[in-house]
Amino acid sequence: MDGIPLVPSCVVAPLLIAVDFDGTITLRDTLHVIVDAHGRPGLWDQIEPALRSGEMTVEEAMQTQFATVTAAHDDVVALVREQAGTRPGFADLVAFAEAGGHRLVVMSAGFRCVIDEVLGDLGLRHLEVVANDAIFTTGGCTLVWGDHRGDTCEICGRRCKRHAIRERHADERLIYVGDGISDRCASLLADQIFARDGLAEWLVQEDVPFVPYEDFHDVIRVLRTDPAVVEAA
Ligand SMILES: [Mg+2]
Ligand SMILES: [Zn+2]
């Protein structure tokens, strides 16, 4: 019997959902939490203006901050667990993505050793994470520039999240969820941006449209109406 020829499957996920970690998946930026407790408190606030204006890069700020941090790995992880908190609905967003065949990637300028623990607590240790890393000891902290390699960004001139997203992006509709400076260049690649806090302020200034969100239930609600999302009735 003549059937319909099978099309070779080269199915691309309908959505690529890139989600920032610090201040997005977590309520408080874990880098700030760590520096405030184990480094020089208030240093982020001092550096913030130079960072926002672009006089200092995210990496330079991190180097300056973490040069002051002396704490053992376990103490850092315990502190983050106690103080960072997670934004409601992230596990639901992951469940939504997995049920719909979407790809979700955590895109962080922060530290894998912290991210893995927080995601583990949410039962999400299996997620794809692009991040840097740090080795925490009581004698000092060593930053490990991890996954953000390759070409420098044509916008900021750094190895920001933009390249890592491009490497993973094919034809899917790209969704970006973030809150801060490290999300700026990457968010501009997205078909839809969900933004809050400093990222939202910057996008307003740049006249780039975005959807504000408070938690991941807001994100899911909007994604359910996305043209690339067809959910079983
Ligand atoms: Mg952030
Ligand atoms: Zn960039």
Ligand nearest to the CA of 182: 1
- Asked if residue 232 is part of any domain, the answer here is no
162-192 pLDDT tens trace = 989 999 999 899 999 999 999 999 999 999 9
Burial 152-167 (b: 16+ CB within 10 A, else e): ebeebebbbbbbbbee
* 4 falls within a domain: no
- The SS3 of residue 72 is coil
Query: pLDDT band at 15, cuts 50/70/90?
Result: very high
pLDDT band at 160 (very low <50, low <70, confident <90, very high): confident
Give a yes or no: residue 187 inside a domain.
Answer: yes
Residue 5 lies in a domain: no
pLDDT at res. 4? 56
- Residue of higher predicted confidence among 146 and 12: 146
Work out how many domains the chain is built from and give that number: 1
Provide the residue range defining the domain that includes 207.
15-223
Surrounding residues of ion ligand 2, Cβ less than 5 A: 153, 155-156, 160, 162, 185
Ligand nearest to the CA of 57: 2
Digit-coded pLDDT (tens) for 207-232: 999 999 999 999 999 999 887 786 54
Residue 91 sits in a domain of what CATH number?
Answer: 3.40.50.1000
State in Å: Cα 3 to ligand 1 middle: 51
Ligand 1 mean position to 104 CA, how many Å? Answer: 16
